[in-house]
Amino acid sequence: MRQRRLIFRAAFLAAVFTVFGISASAGPLQRKLAAESTIEQIARRGVIRVGMDTFVPWAMKNKKGELIGFEIDVAKQLAHDMGVKIEFVPTKWSGIIPALITGKFDVIIGGMTITPKRNLKINFTRPYYYTGQTLLAYKKLAAGAKSWRDFNRPGVTIAARLGATGAVACKRFLPKAKLRLFDDEPSALQELRNGRVNAFVTSAPLPAFMALDYPETLVAFNEIIMKEAIGFGVRKSDPDTLNYFNNWIETQKNSGFLQRRYKYWFTSRDWKSQIE
């Protein structure tokens, strides 16, 4: 019994020394990690650099050449709450994740869907809103179609943006159709309006809005093909930054800010006069 108590006491003391040893060494390491975190760099710099790409109504230019849109409002409010200035870094969608990883900017705020493949390269915040892929079709080439499912057949060509989840939705749910990828949204829309592709798969509400703007040539199939959660994209190994952004999102959900801006940009056309 005495021997067993001695063994237990020795093990306990070893554990205590180990814990205190780790704690002593963890202090400098924790300070180093905190100093290197993106959130600390933003605070020291006084500027948050936001990576984004332009697509309606997330981010677009108004008549004055200024950026407006849902994601622009979100990013500006984040900068305001952090007490820093904001710098937008327009980046082609196909290269936006590599640009984040290499430090071209601090965070992606650009309607980026959270996917397992992307999550292998970067971390995501909790979702701050949800969207879904829908289909916009050239009316003459959509005769007889009742659903987006009717476009899943040979002889149909569907456009999607390179690197976007619209392309993923096409491959997964419309595999029989031919897929054409475009670097940006305007190029894909132009091909569609010219009747050189049957349809364009992209995030709602763009298909519905475009069908309202061009009723003679375009028709929207508003049933969601694939629902998506949207989050900020941040570099890996940076828990402080992820923690701050997650808490900011929760705060803005509770305040109603995100819901109000979503309603304005996604369910109304009150902003349309700013871009036309």
pLDDT in tens, 187-233: 999 999 999 999 999 999 999 999 999 999 999 999 999 999 999 99
Convert the pLDDT of each residue in 74-131 to its tens digit. 999 999 999 999 999 999 999 999 999 999 999 999 999 999 999 999 999 999 999 9
pTM for the full predicted model: 0.81
Contact 225, 132 (CB under 8 A): yes
| Strand blocks (E) in 106-217 | 107-108, 123-124, 129-138, 157-161, 178-182, 199-203
CA distance 235 to 125: 11
Report all structural domains of the chain as residue ranges with CATH numbers, in order of start.
38-128+231-274 (3.40.190.10), 132-227 (3.40.190.10)
DSSP 112: P
